[in-house]
Amino acid sequence: MSLFQTLFRTKQIDHLQHEAKHETGFVKALGPWQLTFLGIGAIIGTGIFVLTGTTAANHTGPALVLSFTISGIGCLFAGLCYAEYAAMIPTAGSAYTYAYASLGEFLAWIIGWDLILEYLFASATVAVGWSGYAVKFLHNFGVDIPPALCSSPLVFNHGVWTQSGALFNLPAVLVCLAATVLLVIGISESARFNNVIVIIKLAVIVLFILCGSSYIDTHNWVPFIPENTGRFGEYGWSGILTGAGVIFFAYIGFDAVSTAAQESKNPQRDMPFGILGSLLLCTILYILVSLVLTGIVPFKELAVPAPVALAIDRAGEGLRWLGPLVQLGAIAGLSSVVLVMMMGQPRIFFSMAKDGLLPKRFAQLHPKFGTPHVTTIVTGLFAALMAGVLPIGVLGELVSIGTLLAFTIVCLSILVLRKTRPNVDRPFRCPFLPWIPIAGALVCLAQMIALPFDTWIRLIVWLAIGLAIYFFYGIRHSRLNSPSKS
């Protein structure tokens, strides 16, 4: 077999389907609503509690609602492709496995390695955000954590790394370790915990929408699309498009639902429901929060770390009672994001190890809990380390570019698989081919191009490390080296 044939050999879909059905030690405990709540748990967090304000103030004005709509439509395109794959190949590997079945082993490795940027770095990023809200919440009760123990020791400004004087971000480390323990104990326990905190944050958001709507001043919506300042991305339609790219981070996470496919009771029906249902509900909530937020506070004043809290303060005494609940909702929201992101990464490692591309130990399941405990612990320790020492800006940009690359490959690979495997049973079919996958790939590529050059350099370095691992280990130990597995 030539090197080209080796790099682009694919796994048979019927073999993948057999593995998903018969060769799993995972506990099948998740129904459609639990999967939907996992998606909501992963999506609603930093985007709605932080990015809404800064995006409105710097890019969109009241037209933030249009940016959320555009970004949501782009994610919907990718979500429809994910839903077809998840129903057809219900395995824990998510986009990695989808690429293995359609584009070949080499590209599957790249996307699997790339997904680490999304899940591992996302959990670390949100843990840092969780730390900020937790420190403020504890302050309300007279508990103050020293700055040296709740900040990153490293700062990255204008391409230069400096030391902040802090030791490490203790709350961020602790939330990562707590999520690790919960995920090792079991998926059903993790899902129940996620359901509780999702209900808390949904209740807080709905309360803000219902109660805050009484304090809207429609004059704050005029002009709805502020005139462009003369610079691209500062208001006007270019600002709306730039805003869509910035708040894309708010939608990251729905794809994590696909990593729980082997723990779903009926993946052919439940996976599309969970993926698309969580996307739809979150988009509606984002739009409503945007309208209330910009209706209460003039958009230029929203460039603050906690815009929802600012809106409550501006509403006056009539809404002040909601302030502590919003802080609690933010903490709950970010907790569930950390949990679901850290759930996704070990299952990617598990699938790669089962294919021989990583050491076999990564494919072990806990004999009692039925969870990939080895990779969960590895993921948790690395996430805690990064959350403890790295600044949130660097982590966030890596998450965005890793996710966008994964979405692009999934959108394109669905076209390849429809062409090469047209007769495979597809319980759910992405509609309007080839237009939706093409549109999804273009939207994601456009947002990747808009990211800073430094982020691209980090992506290239990260992929280079991954390629070294693949060519020194993965290609030699691949299960496809055995004809019976091809």
Per-residue pLDDT of the chain (486 residues; tens, 9 = 90+): 688 788 889 888 877 777 666 655 667 777 888 888 888 887 887 677 777 888 898 889 999 999 888 888 888 898 899 888 888 888 777 788 888 888 889 989 998 888 877 788 888 878 887 887 788 788 878 888 898 888 888 776 656 677 777 888 999 999 999 999 988 887 677 777 778 888 888 888 999 999 999 999 999 999 999 999 888 888 998 888 888 877 776 777 777 777 777 778 888 888 889 889 988 998 999 999 999 999 999 999 987 767 888 888 888 888 888 888 888 888 887 888 888 888 888 888 888 998 999 998 888 888 888 888 898 999 999 999 988 887 766 666 677 777 788 888 889 989 988 988 888 888 889 999 899 999 999 988 887 777 767 778 888 988 999 999 999 999 999 988 875 544
pLDDT for the residue numbered 349: 86
Cis peptide before 223 (omega within 30 of 0): yes
Residue 228 within a domain: yes
pLDDT at 288: 94
446 within a domain of the structure (yes/no):
yes
Cβ neighbours of residue 198 closer than 8 Å, sequence gap 6 or more: 37, 40, 41, 44, 332, 336
Please check whether residue 21 lies inside any domain of the structure: no
Q: Is residue 12 part of a domain?
A: no
Number of domains in the chain: 1
Q: What is the pLDDT of residue 287?
A: 92
Asked if residue 353 is part of any domain, the answer here is yes
Residue 53: inside a domain, yes or no? yes
Q: Counting every residue, how long is the chain?
A: 486
Supply the pLDDT for residue 15. 75
Which residue range is the domain that position 399 belongs to? 27-424+432-481
Residue 190 sits in a domain whose CATH number is 1.20.1740.10
Residue showing tokens 């009484």: 214
Answer whether residue 22 is part of any domain: no
d(CA 454, CA 443): 21
SS3 category, 267:
helix
From CA 61, how far away is CA 206, in angstroms rounded?
A: 22
Q: What angle do CA 59, 308, 243 make, to 5 degrees?
A: 20
User: Which one-letter amino acid corresponds to residue 7?
Assistant: L
Q: Quote the pLDDT of residue 486.
A: 46
pLDDT at position 296, please?
A: 94
Please tell me the predicted confidence (pLDDT) of residue 159: 62
For residue 416, being part of any structural domain is answered with yes
The rounded distance, in Å, linking the Cα atoms of 466 and 483 is: 25
Give the closest residue to 409 by CA, choosing from 118, 110, 119, 121: 110
Task: Provide the pLDDT for residue 299.
Answer: 92
pTM of the entire predicted model: 0.79
- Other beta carbons less than 10 A from residue 298's beta carbon: 16
Distance CA 417, CA 355 (A): 20
Q: How many CA atoms lie within 13 A of 19 on its CB side?
A: 19
Positive or negative torsion for Cα 380, 134, 35, 105: negative
Q: Look up residue 226 and give its DSSP letter.
A: P
Cross-strand bridge partners of residue 169: 150
- Helices 435-449 and 64-88 meet at what angle, rounded to 10? 120
Residue-level pLDDT at 225: 94
In the prediction, which pLDDT does 23 show? Answer: 56
> Can you give the pLDDT at residue 432?
92
